[in-house]
Amino acid sequence: MDDEAIRASLDERGFLSPALAFVVAKYRMDHSQDFEGVERYSDIAQGLIMAATIKGSEPHMLASLVFLQRAVRNSQAAVILCERGLVVEAQTLTRTAAEVIFYAGALINDPSVFTRIAREGDIAERKQAAAMIETCSALGLTEQNLLDLQPVIDRADGDGPGFSAHDAARIAGLMPFYDTIYRGFSSAASHATFRSMDSSFVKHESGGFSLVSGPSTYHLEFTLGILKSCMAVAIQLLRDHFEFDD
């Protein structure tokens, strides 16, 4: 396909266009060092995840390993989005990767947070169940539906504290990552803010604007660099706190 045909296909079908394969090839070529750099770290992290073992199958360490596996998986998904020009969407996944790294590190440093993480899940589910009863009853919830939701609400009874991403980052000793990556990508990508629109418009010399509806390299290299940093933290946690099969 020539450039005009690629643009026409992208305009017609967006990111589901078969022309995206040409975009991926171009981005991979133009930014080869950045992609290869993060993929080297991904390969190391993937290998460690697959070989990691836990002494005595302690629940907090098993949970930590699963969170680290999620961090690697989210990072790999973000790389896939980057090579397709979906950089803001990649930043959203990068933020999630950072968050689960915080939880993994917190579990390693303080096993008692395992119960607080579980309680936080119960509290969140209670809020959802209560909200469903309040807002969805008129939409056809049956008496049995209401009865089924009650145990979800009851499960979160008590005064025990929950657990936030901020708590996790503090206990994990990763507050610099929280204050930069996590907070930064919250406003730049994950949430509905005006800042998150930056990559969706291009300003012309005439002073006008036009909508960017297709792939973009806006902050591509920066995002791949952040992904590399996330992978590096995950790798260090794995190497320092897990055993590995020969």
Of the candidates 83, 81, 78, 163, which has an alpha carbon nearest to the alpha carbon of residue 117?
163
d(CA 159, CA 189) in angstroms, rounded, equals: 34
Contact 182, 188 (CB under 8 A): no
Contacts of 129 (CB under 8 A, 6+ apart): 149, 150, 152, 153
Is residue 80, in this structure, part of any structural domain at all? yes
CA-CA-CA-CA torsion sign (69, 181, 124, 132) = negative
Is residue 18, in this structure, part of any structural domain at all? no
Output the pLDDT for position 141. 82
Write out pLDDT tens, residues 44-66.
Answer: 999 999 999 987 679 999 999 99
Is residue 77, in this structure, part of any structural domain at all? yes
Is residue 1, in this structure, part of any structural domain at all? no
Contact 22, 212 (CB under 8 A): no
Output the pLDDT for position 246. 65
| pTM, 2 dp | 0.91
Write out pLDDT tens, residues 156-211.
Answer: 887 777 899 999 999 999 999 999 999 999 999 999 888 888 777 777 778 778 77
DSSP letter (8 states) at residue 207: S
Is residue 12, in this structure, part of any structural domain at all? no
* Structural domain span for residue 191: 24-244
Domain count, the chain: 1
